[in-house]
Each structure stands twice: as C-alpha cells, then as structure tokens.
Structure 1
Amino acid sequence: MKKLFLIIGAPGSGKTTDAELIAKDHSDTIVHYSTGDLLRAETAKGSQRGKLIESFTSKGNLVPLEIVVDTIVSAISHAPKDIILIDGYPRSIEQMEAFDKVLKEQDSIELVSVIEVEVSEEVARQRVLGRARGADDNDEVFNNRMKVFLEPLSAIQKFYAEKLQKINGERSIEEIVSEMKNFIQSKI
C-alpha cells in the first residue's frame, strides 16, 4: 500500500523545497511530486491539455478539477516508491472532496497525513516576489494566488483535522525539514 502525505501551504511557504529535500535524503523510500511541477510539465509539452492548464495558471487561477485529480492519481499510481509526498494539493474544497472520493474508491493508497507549512502573508510575499522565477511572480498574481489559497483553507483544515500536522515555515530550512522528516518517519 502506498502511503501518501499531502503538503499544503501558502505560495512561498517552502513546501516544495521541503518535500524535495526530504525525498532526496530518502530517495530509496520516498518520492515527491509537486502539483505545480506536474501541471507545468504538461504545459511544457505544448499539448492541448497543457495549453488549457496554462490559460488558468498564467492568471494565478486553479486548473479545472478533473485535470488536476487525473494528473495526481496518475502520478501516485505510477510512483516508483511506496511513500509519496505531494505538495500544493488540495487547493480547493472541490479538489479535496474529489480526491477524498477517489481515495475511498480504492485500497492501494492510504492518506497518512496533511502537513501544513505555515507562514505569514508578509513572509510569503517577500519570498515569492524575491525569487521572481517567471511571469506569474508579480504583485497582482501573488495577491490572487494568496486569495485562492486562503479562501478554502479553514474548510480544508477542518476536513483533515484528524490528519493535519502544522509546521512553522518561518524558521531555517534545516529546522523545518528536520521537523517534517521526523514527523513523516513517525507515521510510517
């Protein structure tokens, strides 16, 4: 059975970097997928699906539910390891409910925990605008991405209350990764 950890957090919370470092340190047992990277890879292919995804992400909006769920389920199904970290999911109540339905319909994946990397909006803004990786790293898109993250957050936290683990994301990366790694190892 595959053991799944979902990692959520504001844009710039460090969730992707944290998960990448943990997977790299434990490459024999853990694999990491970033929802954003999975969707960007599809966009980079230049396929019809990729163009559709880009029409949403370029404005900081959510990609349609069925595309995201299909992309994630496919990644989990084909994962080469049994412990899977997925960051950036769920980002809406609809995504959460659709994914929960998919998990209940199968018995090969266990959602072990949802880890929330907490940072203030100010810290998130400084990190995102400071890194400026692409055209979507600007004030307008950041504000929209933050709104999209915050609107469903309390419902997501409530839904996953029994599986939710919060981690302070405003410390050194070493401290954050260490705490997250220890928590994951305590659950497997």
Structure 2
Amino acid sequence: MKKLFLIIGAPGSGKTTDAELIAANHNTITHYSTGDMFRAEVASGSERGALIDSYVSKGNLVPIEIVIETIVGAIKNAPTDVVVIDGYPRSGEQMTELDKYLETEPEVTLVSVIEVAVSRETAFQRVLGRAADAEVVRADDNEEVFLNRMKLFTDPLADIQAFYTEKNLLKQISGEGTIEAIVAEMDAFIQSKI
C-alpha cells in the first residue's frame, strides 16, 4: 500500500525544498515535485515535453490528462511505500481528478495534504530573489510569470482547502520560519502518520 502525502503552497513557499530535505533524511520516503517531473520531461526533448513546455513557460497549468498520467506513473513506480508529491493539486479539476483516481485505486491512500502557508510578499521576494541569485535562472522566475502563477495558486485555494478539510486531510504549516523549523515540523507530522 502506497501512502501519499501532497504538499501545496504558493510559488516560493519552499514546498519543494522542504520535501527534498525530508526525503533525504529517510530512505523510506520518495519525493517527487510536479515541477521537476515536468522540467525533466521538457529537458528530454520528447513530444510530451514540448507540449508541457508550451504551458509551463507561460506560467499556465498543464492539461489534466498529462498531469494525472505523470503523477500516477510516479506513485506506482516509486521505490518506497511513502510518496511525497509537492505542487499538486493546483486546481479544483486536478483535485477532483486525483480524488476520482484514488477512489478506484486500492494500492494508494492519500494520508494528508500539507499546505505550506506564506504571505504573498514572502513568496514574491523568494521567487524574484531566487531569479537574481541563481546561476541558472528558471524561465518561470520573473515578475509577470510569478503574478500569473500566484493567481493560479490563490484562485482555487479556498475550494482545495475546504475539500480536504471536509475529508479531515488538510494540515497547515507556516512557511514563514527557518527552513530547519519548517522541515522539522513537517517531518514530525509525516512520521506521526506513517
């Protein structure tokens, strides 16, 4: 039985870094970032990668069929029974489609959805600071794309929070502190659930 944890948060909330550090501390946890999965597909030069790039480069959502195929494949092929995916769901449609999939998949159970909550100002500073400091600047780290990504995150957020709260699956963690404190809190929570 695969135990699935989803980590959501604004661009720049630190969700990918948090999840990477937790997975690095436990050989029983596999971490996938939807963004990394998509970037790897784009870098491969495949037809699917070109299609993904046409959406991601503008800060838009990748079509649901491609997202579900990518995520389901990752979960099923994970080398561990605990899988942490960050950056999903990003829309009501993605949430609903994953929920439909999980209802018919006896081998995977959604344990929790962890929201890393940060202010818009913190997210903005982190993303644009990342762009200024990086040796390799990500194409989606600029103000216009950030604002579009932020809108895509915040527009469906209340519905996503309500959906997972009703299922008693939502856990909110402040992403405003130090990386060490955030990771410690998230790690302790995940460990308490497995």
TM-score (norm 2): 0.95
Give the equivalent residue in structure 2 for 1:44: 43
In the alignment, does 2:151 pair up with 1:152? no
* Alignment partners' CA distance in 1, 2:105 and 2:150: 33
- Cα deviation for residue 106 of structure 1 reads 1.1
Equivalent runs, 1:10-159 vs 2, <5 Å: 10-27=10-27, 29-132=28-131, 133-159=137-163
* Alignment partners' CA distance in 1, 2:140 and 2:46: 20
- Cα deviation for residue 170 of structure 1 reads 0.4
* Alignment partners' CA distance in 1, 2:83 and 2:107: 12
Letter in 2 for 1:3: K
* Alignment partners' CA distance in 2, 1:151 and 1:87: 18
Q: Secondary structure at the match of 2:177?
A: coil
| CA offset digits 1:113-144 (Å, max 9, x no partner) | 00000000000000000011322211100000
1:164 pairs with one of 145, 166, 170: 170
Letter in 2 for 1:22: I
Show structure 2 runs of 5+ residues with no match.
Answer: 132-136
* Alignment partners' CA distance in 2, 1:134 and 1:106: 35
- Cα RMSD (Å): 0.5
Show structure 1 runs of 5+ residues with no match.
Answer: none
- Cα deviation for residue 31 of structure 1 reads 0.5
| CA offset digits 1:30-82 (Å, max 9, x no partner) | 00000000111111111111000000000000000000000000000000000
Letter in 2 for 1:114: V
Q: Indicate the larger mover: 29-38 or 129-138.
A: 129-138
Q: Secondary structure at the match of 1:8?
A: strand
Number of residue pairs aligned between Structure 1 and Structure 2: 187
* Alignment partners' CA distance in 2, 1:183 and 1:45: 35
